Amino acid sequence: MAMESHLAELERRHLALEKEIEDALHHPGTDNLELADLKKRKLQLKDEISRLRDESVH
């Protein structure tokens, strides 16, 4: 059960970053480095979610 709650938290953070990226893309003054950092963090979360799901299957 702890794994499921951890995955749910990671998915929640991933979704929050997705929304933050969308908001940043709609503001022309957004710093490109900040946007790149947000995308990198989102990808890291996605990779972690995938890794944990793969481990739980095996």
Tell me what pLDDT residue 16 has: 98
**27: containing domain:** 2-57
- The three-class DSSP label of residue 28 is coil
Tens digit of each residue's pLDDT (9 = 90 or more) over 2-50: 889 999 999 999 999 999 999 999 998 889 999 999 999 999 999 999 9
Residue-level pLDDT at 1: 63
| Higher pLDDT pick, 55 / 44 | 44
Q: What is the pLDDT of residue 58?
A: 75
pTM: 0.87
**Cβ atoms of residues 2 and 56 within 8 Å:** no
Please tell me the predicted confidence (pLDDT) of residue 49: 96
| Six-digit token string for 20 | 């933050």
Contact 45, 17 (CB under 8 A): yes
How many folded domains does the chain comprise? 1
